[in-house]
Structure 1
Amino acid sequence: MRGAGEETVAWRYLSRDVVPFAAMFTAECAIVGSNTLFKAATLRGLSFYVFVFYSYLVSTLLLLPLCFIFGRSKRLPQSKSPLFFKILLVGLLGFISQIAGCKGIEYSSPTLSSAISNLTPAFTFTLAVIFRMEQVRLRSSGTQAKIIGAVISISGALVIVLYKGPKVLPAASFTSSSPPTISLHQQQMTSFESSWIIGGLLLASQYFLISFMYILQTMIMEAYPEEIRVVFFYNLIATLISAPVCFFAETNLTSWVLKPDISLAAIIYSGVFVSLFTALTHTWGLHLKGPVYVSLFRPLSIAIAVSMGAIFLGTALHLGSVIGSVILSFGFYTVIWGKTRENSTKAVAGCEHSPLLLTHVVEDEHLLVRYD
């Protein structure tokens, strides 16, 4: 009897904690990899309008057959229903956030993008409180920690955006065999300090829109728990919106002709691993754990981005990014502690009201407490 109970608890812990954690971490790696590839492709002349449209198109075409194979359990939402309007809004916000993110990375770097992404938990928590997905008890230590962590995160982001500072790690010097457009573009980027601020503001707006999308997607999944169909309609709507906008913005027809180089690799990678895999993973995580949990993994991307940027792009690391990232990380872990504290309080309260409960998993410390 006890052995069967232990297996049940172990399986529940694996399916509800280990697997979601691994999936979210993998999704963050995929996002940083896409940002790094996109930055390298733009240094070689890839238009971000071309990148956005083709990425959405690739993911839509790949998701279409999956909808027929795995998405037959429920009827499609009607075009006049509030649910369809929410999906339409998610597609529009997704397109706008993608444009803002690509332009922000073009002005700055993938490392700055990952640093600013630390704002996502603060944005998401604030919106979750507004939409009553998170409870605020001002006398609770968990709520106080989440509010303080959100303020600290925003302060850290302001430091990164407004203070670039001297170089801590210099940029890698490219050899003469490297394409000349790379060194020319880097000289232009370093000569315009204001581009760093513009890039930071664009990236901050991107992650605010992403946080709002998390809230909307959570609402959608509560009413229509079909991850593949929801992500397909989101990509389809984003593709239809991006087609006229991107073709109007990028009038150079030669830019739309793709060659088998890093530009094509960046587009395919983004379409498969970001617009498809990451979108499905986040939507599933929103359904399983909620918006705040998904947003908490964003800060992990900063270490990944610094490594990839130094290895593949030769980008420099500035003092402002280091100081701001430390402040952001402190705010991030404060929010995590507050969230964990609330979960533990709820779990203990539930056990007190259910004395017949044999086992309970305390989420914050991953300890097994037994009740005989």
Structure 2
Amino acid sequence: MKAAPLPPPADDDEEMAAWKAPAAMLLVQLFNTGMVLLSKVAIGGGMFVFALLTYRSLFGAAFILPIALLRERGKWKEMDWHAAGWIFLNAFIGYAIPMSLYYYGLQDTTASYAIIFLNLIPLTTFILSFMLRMEPLRIMSTSGSLKIAGVVVSVGGTMIISLYKGKILHLWNPVFHPHNEDAASHQLRGSIFLAGSSFMLACWYLIQSKVMKVYPYKYWSSMTTCLVGGFQTALAGLIFRRDKNAWKIGWDINLLTVVYSGALATALKYSLNSWAVSKKGPSYPPMFSPLSVVFTVVLGSIFIGDDITIGSLIGTVLVIVGTYIFLWAKANERLEK
């Protein structure tokens, strides 16, 4: 008599994804936090913004290249002039302009303030999509009402952070003391730069669907975008500053910032996000974005002495709550469809 067949083994991939996916997303937010904090220290110490952008993107391209060769072998041959034109535009709108504005805004403000604007990008993208009639609003539906509420709460939180400081909470002594003189005197200018950066990145997300249609290979597309973005920022840097010393880099915080940004905050972050999307869907990674605000506020205060004020705490909580409301409504809307 034959023994009854054993039941099929549990899907190990699904079980591993249950804990690996949130762990991967936590790492992504920590990578974002580290990039912003290191960039603030490097720029505050005098590093030329366009040199940082150029080296970061070229390192990112170098780290993504092996992944592209393994995962999308031979697909580079399918890139024609039409696709190359869209990738050039992709790099210009998605990297050269917004990251230049972001780093100059970071130079004029603080890390905990600048990170807020990265979390407003999904909301800005939604507003642009609605204005361009690329996405319906559905005010009468629960999801539509919640999305509007999330936008209002998040924008309100950002305004509180910008306009109201309140009492400074001296919780601990910072580990480092970077140059922060400009953060107080150029807050308005920095806010304009950061808002412009968020707007351009929102526009960039809107052209991603077109880029993927003309060249549907994400690793080669990302690698070439980083490469082209590096050349674009290098050209802009040479126009603004011809001094060779501005482009020199030694064994210091500047080199650490470049390698960290290229390896962890670009290549590894992209890979983890792509894996999470394949396991949990496109709405999963953004759900963790507000954590970068918490990480940056706390770690920025501990390591580089960013002030924690009553206003920044209230505004940060509102931005996080508003972003979560919006992202939850967005995910729920996809399920309803």
TM range (shorter): 0.7 to 0.9
Aligned twin of 1:368? none
Shift of 1:196: 1.7
Q: Is the 8 A contact 1:117 1:204 kept in 2?
A: no
What is the DSSP-based 3-state SS (H/G/I as helix, E as strand, rest coil) of the residue aligned with 2:329? helix
Shift of 1:233: 0.9
- What TM-score results when the alignment is normalised by the length of structure 2? 0.84
After superposition, the C-alpha distances for 1:145-200 in whole angstroms (9 at most, x for unaligned) are 112212221222222223334423378367xxx78xx4xx334544x2xx122222
After superposition, the C-alpha distances for 1:41-76 in whole angstroms (9 at most, x for unaligned) are 223222222211111122223333443343225354
Aligned twin of 1:369? none
Aligned twin of 1:74? 75
Q: Is the 8 A contact 1:124 1:291 kept in 2?
A: no
| 2:195 aligned partner, one-letter code | A
Aligned twin of 2:316? 325
Counterpart Cα distance in 1 of 2:240 and 2:275: 34
| 1:103 aligned partner, one-letter code | Y
Q: Tell me: CA distance 1:272–1:101, structure 2 relative to 1, closer, same or farther (3 Å).
A: same
| 1:300 aligned partner, one-letter code | L
**Counterpart check, 1:208 vs 2:199:** yes
Q: Tell me: CA distance 1:91–1:173, structure 2 relative to 1, closer, same or farther (3 Å).
A: closer
Q: Is the 8 A contact 2:107 2:183 kept in 1?
A: no
| 1:147 aligned partner, one-letter code | I
Aligned partner of 1:337 among 328, 331, 337: 328
What is the DSSP-based 3-state SS (H/G/I as helix, E as strand, rest coil) of the residue aligned with 1:72? coil
Q: Tell me: CA distance 1:280–1:131, structure 2 relative to 1, closer, same or farther (3 Å).
A: farther
| 1:237 aligned partner, one-letter code | V
Counterpart Cα distance in 2 of 1:167 and 1:246: 37
% identity of equivalent residues: 25
**Counterpart check, 1:254 vs 2:245:** yes
Counterpart Cα distance in 1 of 2:13 and 2:266: 30
Q: Tell me: CA distance 1:12–1:343, structure 2 relative to 1, closer, same or farther (3 Å).
A: farther
Shift of 1:220: 3.2
Q: Tell me: CA distance 1:127–1:188, structure 2 relative to 1, closer, same or farther (3 Å).
A: closer
Higher relative contact order (CA 8 A, sep 6+): 2
Q: Tell me: CA distance 1:3–1:165, structure 2 relative to 1, closer, same or farther (3 Å).
A: farther
Q: Tell me: CA distance 1:200–1:297, structure 2 relative to 1, closer, same or farther (3 Å).
A: farther
Q: Tell me: CA distance 1:140–1:173, structure 2 relative to 1, closer, same or farther (3 Å).
A: closer
Q: Tell me: CA distance 1:318–1:148, structure 2 relative to 1, closer, same or farther (3 Å).
A: same
Counterpart Cα distance in 1 of 2:196 and 2:7: 51
Q: Tell me: CA distance 1:339–1:21, structure 2 relative to 1, closer, same or farther (3 Å).
A: farther
Q: How does 1:269-284 map to 2 (within 5 A)?
A: 269-282=260-273
After superposition, the C-alpha distances for 1:264-306 in whole angstroms (9 at most, x for unaligned) are 1111111111232224444666677776554443211111101
| 1:108 aligned partner, one-letter code | T
- What TM-score results when the alignment is normalised by the length of structure 1? 0.77
After superposition, the C-alpha distances for 1:10-50 in whole angstroms (9 at most, x for unaligned) are 845755x7555443332221111011111122232222222
Aligned twin of 1:361? none
| 2:266 aligned partner, one-letter code | S
Aligned twin of 2:86? 86
Q: Tell me: CA distance 1:150–1:77, structure 2 relative to 1, closer, same or farther (3 Å).
A: farther
Q: How does 1:169-188 map to 2 (within 5 A)?
A: 169=170, 172=173, 182=178, 185-187=179-181
Q: How does 1:180-259 map to 2 (within 5 A)?
A: 182=178, 185-187=179-181, 189-190=183-184, 192=185, 195-221=186-212, 224-259=215-250
CA RMSD of aligned residues (A): 3.2
Further displaced range: 218-227 or 264-273: 218-227
Counterpart Cα distance in 1 of 2:290 and 2:298: 14
Further displaced range: 277-286 or 207-216: 277-286
Counterpart Cα distance in 1 of 2:77 and 2:143: 40
What is the DSSP-based 3-state SS (H/G/I as helix, E as strand, rest coil) of the residue aligned with 2:292? helix
User: Between Structure 1 and Structure 2, how many residues are aligned?
Assistant: 332
Aligned twin of 1:355? none
Aligned twin of 2:64? 63
After superposition, the C-alpha distances for 1:312-350 in whole angstroms (9 at most, x for unaligned) are 20221123322221221221122133234334534xxxx
Further displaced range: 231-240 or 246-255: 246-255
Aligned twin of 1:114? 115
Counterpart Cα distance in 2 of 1:153 and 1:42: 28
Aligned twin of 2:144? 143
After superposition, the C-alpha distances for 1:222-251 in whole angstroms (9 at most, x for unaligned) are 554422101101101101111111122233
Q: Is the 8 A contact 2:91 2:228 kept in 1?
A: yes
